[in-house]
Amino acid sequence: MTRGDSANGGGASGQQQGAGKFPRKRFYRARAHSNPLSDSHFPIPISPDEVNLSQHYPRYFPSDEGEGRQGDAAVPRIRFADVGCGFGGLLVGLSTLFPDTLMIGMELRDKVTEYVKERILALRASNPGKYDNISVVRTNSMKYIPNYFRKAQLSKMFFLFPDPHFKEKNHRRRVISMQLLDEYAYVMEEGGIIYTITDVEELGEWMRSCLEKHPLFQAIPEEEIKTDPVVKLLCTATEEGQKVARNGGHTFQAIFRRISFKEE
Amino acid sequence: MEDTGVEEAEVSGGAEFAPALVAADPHGHSVAVAVGPELRVFDLKAGSAVSLSDDSGGGSHSDAIRAISFSANGVLFASAGDDKLVKVWKTDSWCCIRTITSEKRASAVAISNDGLYVTFADKFGVVWLVTMGESGGEQELTDNKPVSILGHYCSIITNMKFSPDGLFIATADRDFKIRITLFPKKPLKGAHEIQSFCLGHTDFVSCIAFTCLSEGPSFLLSGGGDSTVRLWDYIKGCLLDTCQVSDKVGELLEPNETEDSNLAVADICLTNDGSLVAVAIKSLNGVMLLACDLIAKKLSFLKVITMEKCYIPTSLSSSFSADLLWTVMGASNMPNQATSQLFTRVKIIPHFKKDPLALCDHVPAVLEDSEVPHGEKLLLALQGSLDIAKQEEVLASVLAALKVSMHKMLVKKHYSEERREQRKRGRNDKKIKK
């Protein structure tokens, strides 16, 4: 919501430097928060069919042969979503861990999205053949998740260090809530895993209690969490996580599995 | 959602006109019209206006009613509105049995098919549920306060309906979405499992309606601000057909009225078998009829029933038993309108059914006022007045208001780049460091 086009600030200067150069954060100064409640003024795909994958993953979807493989089961789909991806640390970490899985970061702040875009382009240019499976989109995922993903499309969703929104009046701005979990459950396949982490104890409890109350999610046993290679990245890969570690702070995780609905 | 047209964005606070609503009892026993805070009911069996009574202990409506609905069996009736009240009426005595206070303004209301639950949606996009009836120990636990069962994140829910089999609840919002949610057997714990999203509208969705076939699959129809009527397979969330009504209306209207913003679909109404769709369109003085072929899954334009120049229906309804399509025009919250002047105009289209034998010559036309069932008595009860001349005057101002009303409430406000910069400068969280 900071501006309508990318014709000023860091976005343009990043492009001028050409691919291969890493963007510098100082050119992408952004607010720490953005209001998820306000009306959005950026383009939103009307339905998941309109998500332009060739723009996000050019190596997987060469734009010239887009027509030929429609309806084919072999067409790769986005499987991971990092909601509120920030500066994209987790995506970069996951990219090499799951080199054949398409994943997308979703971020509301325009400048931050620009930064991640440039970062991915630079990574691709300096590591040919790598980082082709990650991308970023500027969107309000609290409003438009179903516009991007089909039912049961995702196998992992990440909510790392979301805004805590302490005031009770602002609790509805939290990215994890009973209502929004309905939508996340819709886009996740059965057995898919939702990862949440925060350094704010109050929010950690909130996210855990929402997930515990929700009939479509079930806590994952501790032993299983320990063997999950993704969990280590939650703290180490993200900028926010590194900051917490630097300051010696605590983190609170809630990792749950999407289960099928059982009515008692 | 592109940042294109810049409309005048600053809207004076009270400029949200509430269009008049009509609802016909499924069995044709009665018909209700809501305009502003007034609920007018006419008993078609007895042929007299109904005086409403209130046993619920709550107040009566004090602000515009935004949604009214009969239950599927016609036993209950619910009204909800800007005064944050949801009132449930028993239709045998027209006595209000429950008044529920909502935290926010209510924008949609529905009664579950078994009549056990009333759901209403508020302007924050949350759907609330209350248990009706005395039976059921479950209700004691919750103190019978409304519980939230689902939500559209911060979006106005414009319409809410139960599927004919009662398995799903459909909610439409201003963010182009229709959500189909499984309605659980114990809904007090919330409706968390989403069956599908019906995505395809490119503007707000104003109305939805299910086809109710006794056997075979049921379908969903929707109308929206993109001036389309769409047919959906709601189980899969799959768009089957789209009918662009603006193409058909275009030639009937003055050129300056054909802007898409004026051709939003205001309401749709189906015949019993779902084969015929009546469409009310903002700016269209009349009703458009579409044929809905549920075998071929196609919508096709049939005809426009034109009405007098300044009659633009704001709401449509029909009942299963009688083949009458009820239409109403009117609005409240008008500037310079005294509350005593809450006129509406009611018109009825007879033979609202698809008759394969007589589709061409036996076409529906509008009933003259003298041909209306129970004649003047009904019109006086539902319209509030019979003085046509005075009405014309009021309706002319209603007409002007209607053209903007829905958009003011449902469309995202567009600000010019300069305007946005200016607003930012006025924000006190941004210190100027230059």
Q: Is A67 exposed, middle or buried (0-12, 13-18, 19+ CB in 10 A)?
A: exposed
pLDDT-derived band of residue B434, with 50, 70 and 90 as boundaries?
Answer: very low
Residue B165: closest CA among B72, B77, B237? B72
Q: What is the pLDDT of residues B2-37, one digit of tens each?
A: 333 333 333 333 456 788 999 999 888 999 999 888
Choosing among A47, A83, A137, which should be mutated to test the B contact, i.e. which has the most B CBs within 10 A?
Answer: A47
Q: Which among A41, A178, A214 has the least Cβ separation from residue B3?
A: A41
Architecture of domain B18-425 in this structure: 7 Propeller (2.130)
pLDDT at B9: 35
Task: Examine the pLDDT at B420 and tell me if it is beyond 80.
Answer: no
Q: How many whole angstroms separate alpha carbon B225 and alpha carbon B202? A: 8
Choosing among A172, A182, A187, which should be mutated to test the B contact, i.e. which has the most B CBs within 10 A?
Answer: A182
Residue A140: closest C-alpha in chain B? B153
SS3 A230: helix
Touching check for B418 and chain A: CB below 8 Å?
no
* ipTM for the assembly: 0.85
Spell out the domain ranges in chain B. Answer: 18-425
Task: Delineate the domains of chain A, giving CATH numbers in brackets.
Answer: 53-63+73-258 (3.40.50.150)
Could you tell me which residues come within 8 angstroms of residue A169 by beta carbon, excluding any fewer than 6 positions away? none
Q: What is the distance in angstroms between the CA of the first residue and the CA of the last residue of chain A?
A: 45
Q: Which tops the pLDDT comparison, B182 or B55?
A: B182
Residue A177: closest CA among A208, A152, A202, A151? A208
How much is the pTM?
A: 0.86
Phi, psi of B92 (to 5 degrees): -75, -40
Task: Examine the pLDDT at A27 and tell me if it is beyond 60.
Answer: yes
DSSP letters spanning A2-20: --SSSSSHHHHHHHHT-TT
Active site residues of A: 163
Q: How many whole angstroms separate alpha carbon B317 and alpha carbon B319? A: 7
Q: Is A182 close to B148, i.e. CB distance below 8 A?
A: no
Q: Dump strand ranges (E) for chain A.
A: 78-83, 102-107, 134-138, 154-160, 188-198, 217-219, 252-258
Using a CB-CB cut-off of 8 Å, the residues of chain B touching A215 are: 189-190, 192-193
| Alpha-carbon distance B304 to nearest alpha carbon in chain A (angstroms) | 30
Q: What is the pLDDT of residues B36-50, one digit of tens each?
A: 888 999 999 888 898
Strand pairing category for A154-160 and A188-198 = parallel
Average confidence (pLDDT) over B291-319: 88
Q: Which of residues 2-41 of B touch A (CB under 8 A)?
A: 2-3
Express as a percent the part of chain A with pLDDT over 90. Answer: 57
Q: How many whole angstroms separate alpha carbon B69 and alpha carbon B63? A: 17
Residue B289: closest CA among B320, B259, B314, B268? B268
Residue B296 CB neighbour total at 10 angstroms = 10
Phi, psi of A32 (to 5 degrees): -75, -25
| Alpha-carbon distance B197 to nearest alpha carbon in chain A (angstroms) | 7
Angle of helix A89-97 versus helix A239-246 axis, rounded to 10:
110
Q: Is B202 close to A37, i.e. CB distance below 8 A?
A: no
Residue A50: closest C-alpha in chain B? B200
Q: Is B200 close to A46, i.e. CB distance below 8 A?
A: yes
Using a CB-CB cut-off of 8 Å, the residues of chain A touching B185 are: 263
Q: How many whole angstroms separate alpha carbon B398 and alpha carbon B411? A: 20
Structure tokens at A13: 């200067």
Q: Dump strand ranges (E) for A161-224.
A: 188-198, 217-219
